[in-house]
Amino acid sequence: MEKFKKYLKNIKVPDSPDFVNSDENEMNQFIQKLKIQDQKDRKNLKNFQVFFIIVLIFYFGLFILNPDPYLTIIDRLVGSFFVIAFLLFLLFLKRHISSYTSIKYDEMMLLFLKKAEKRYRFLLEDSYILIPFLLLIDVGSCTAFVVNYWPAQYGFISGILVFQVIFALIMSLGLIIAKRKWRRNKSEIYYSIKNLINEFQMDNNTVS
């Protein structure tokens, strides 16, 4: 084994332009590329945040500050539900994006793998943030639907029930599409991380 270790010491980075080597120009070019990429990433994240804040301000103005006399209290209430729901969704997205952009590669391996496994789950750990978001959208849309579009002679209760059925169907459809997308894009990675963690933990237990 010691001879093999000595042999390994002779393995060097290939002297090829494909590999960043100790050459100063090459290294400076690589560092420059990294700096540009870092700036791009930061800019994209900032643009994304600015976009959502602008939309949020727009909706706030449209539904809450708007002096239009035809805008009823119910409309304003529904609007505030949407604004709050949108704010919650923005927080969720921000958390979600930062969990991808701030992956810590210098963590202990098992911890790194466990965090990766959480990132690739179908239902993320912080998905609970979406429950109040969905409730607010549901209540807001349901109120708007019953007040503005549902014929009064059928009664409010039946209007609410019809809307809840439609809402549940749309949500279920969304869930099915999301699950299919996850299966196609992420499930394989998720299960291979899970297997790897099991492999490590099994080895750990066997040895213990």
Partner 1 sequence: MEAKPTAFQDILIDNKDKIYRICCYYLSDPEDRKDLYQEILINIWRSLPSFKGKSKLETWIFRIAVNSALGFIYKEKKRKDKNDVSKDIVDIQIESNQSKMDEEDKYQQVLEAINCLKTSDKVLISMYLENLSQKEIAEISGFSESNVRVKIHRIKKILTRIVHTKEKKNGKV
Interacting residues with partner 1 (CB under 8 A): 1, 3-5, 7-8, 11-14, 18-22, 27-28, 30-31, 34, 38, 104-113, 116, 188-189, 192-193, 196, 199-200, 203-204, 207-208
Instruction: Report yes or no: 161 and 135 within 8 Å, Cβ to Cβ.
Output: no
What tokens appear for 52 in the block?
Answer: 């959502």
Query: Which is nearer to partner 1, 1 or 157 (by Cβ)?
Result: 1
Query: Which is nearer to partner 1, 157 or 207 (by Cβ)?
Result: 207
Please report how close the Cβ of residue 159 comes to partner 1 at its closest, in angstroms. Answer: 49
Please report how close the Cβ of residue 148 comes to partner 1 at its closest, in angstroms. Answer: 48
Query: Which is nearer to partner 1, 18 or 68 (by Cβ)?
Result: 18
What is the dihedral angle through the alpha carbons of 185, 186, 189, 190, rounded to the nearest 10 degrees? Answer: -160
Please report how close the Cβ of residue 42 comes to partner 1 at its closest, in angstroms. Answer: 12
Query: Which is nearer to partner 1, 85 or 193 (by Cβ)?
Result: 193
Identify the burial level of 87 via C-beta atoms within 10 angstroms of its C-beta, where 0-12 means exposed, 13-18 middle and 19 or more buried.
middle
CA distance 82 to 30: 46
Query: Which is nearer to partner 1, 16 or 153 (by Cβ)?
Result: 16
Among 91, 153, 95, 145, residue whose Cα is nearest residue 125: 95
Please report how close the Cβ of residue 99 comes to partner 1 at its closest, in angstroms. Answer: 14
Instruction: Report yes or no: 142 and 164 within 8 Å, Cβ to Cβ.
Output: yes
Please report how close the Cβ of residue 107 comes to partner 1 at its closest, in angstroms. Answer: 7
Please report how close the Cβ of residue 3 comes to partner 1 at its closest, in angstroms. Answer: 8
Distances (CA, A) of 85 to 54, 110, 138: 15, 36, 10
Distances (CA, A) of 119 to 18, 95, 184: 31, 11, 16
Query: Which is nearer to partner 1, 53 or 202 (by Cβ)?
Result: 202
- By three-state DSSP, how is residue 91 classified? helix
